[in-house]
Amino acid sequence: MKIALIGAGSVVWTRRLMMDILSFPELTGATLSLMDIDPVRLETARQTVERLVAQVGAPATVEASLNQRDAVRGAKYVIYAVQVGMHHATLLDFDIPRKYGLRQTIADTLGVGGIFRGLRTIPVMLSLLQDMEEVCPDALFLNYVNPMSILCLAASRASSIRTVGLCHSVQGTAHQLAGYLGVDDKRVGYRVAGINHMAWFLDLTIDGHDAYPALWDAMGNPAVYGRDKVRFEMMRRLGYFVTESSEHMAEYVPYFIKRDALIAEFDIPIDEYVRRSSENLVTFEKTRAEVASGACLLERHEIFTAPAHIFVDRDVELG
């Protein structure tokens, strides 16, 4: 079985993803095909994954290529995790709108930043899907790139390749809610519906019993409310908790980023993604040095655990 990762140069993400893959016995013998357009990042990713395979003791094979078509040839799964334009494009997504008075937090889903992120990513994604149609037509395309709904819609309209969009916001939010409620994750159940970055916990349970009354009580605790002000305000008005973070949600609706006083009141981190993007550049260099030093790469891994069975009603997202 061949699993291709396009955009492997994001080495922290690559390390966590590959450790997750290697944690499943059914996948330990897979061929892990890494691809990136940056030779330095690709080499760092290759060394990282080879080290992980050796440390885990898995029989997996690691390949690395600067050629997209070669990387996906014969693949059963193709994972997409690119950032077209890298840090420079992210700066433009924020700097240009800011000149005209538009403030953003993440800018990866909608608004000016999200739209232009989509416009520059769609052509690159479609070139990959065209290669897949020719060299691995039966593969499953797993998209981890934002804007998720825009890209999945483009893929569904322009390609015959089976496409699934993946995001950790549902299980990530479930983990946060368990913390707000003071219970172990394993006791929490939920039913969620919506589109990526704006889905809603229609049902939330603890040991099978409705947990919303307890969540409403928790919202009354200033320490809990202060950790997620925007989402709790949305729950106060709509009755359900949303899957995306407060910093994301603040720019999805017109209520919070209107005045400086509101931004301060709700602790909205303007330009948050610019800071994250800058930190990622530093993190890459640290990871590169860590790989070169021969350090054990298993120590810092944090796996996202999910329910043993996830039931999904598949449909095209139009949001």
Active site residues: 168
Q: Which class for 291: exposed (0-12), middle (13-18), buried (19 or more C-beta within 10 A)?
A: buried
Tokens encoding 225: 């409310």
Q: Which class for 314: exposed (0-12), middle (13-18), buried (19 or more C-beta within 10 A)?
A: exposed
Q: Which residues pair with 193 in a beta bridge?
A: 200
DSSP states along the chain: -EEEEETTT-HHHHHHHHHHHHTSGGGTT-EEEEE-S-HHHHHHHHHHHHHHHHHHT---EEEEES-HHHHHTT-SEEEE---TTHHHHHHHHHHHHHHTT---S--SSSHHHHHHHHHHHHHHHHHHHHHHHHH-TTPEEEE--SSHHHHHHHHHHH--SEEEE--SHHHHHHHHHHHHHTS-GGGEEEEEEEETTEEEEEEEEETTEE-HHHHHHHHTSHHHHTTSHHHHHHHHHHSSEESS-HHHHHHHSTTSSSSHHHHHHTT--TTHHHHHHHHHHHHHHHHHHHHHHT--SSTT-------S-----------
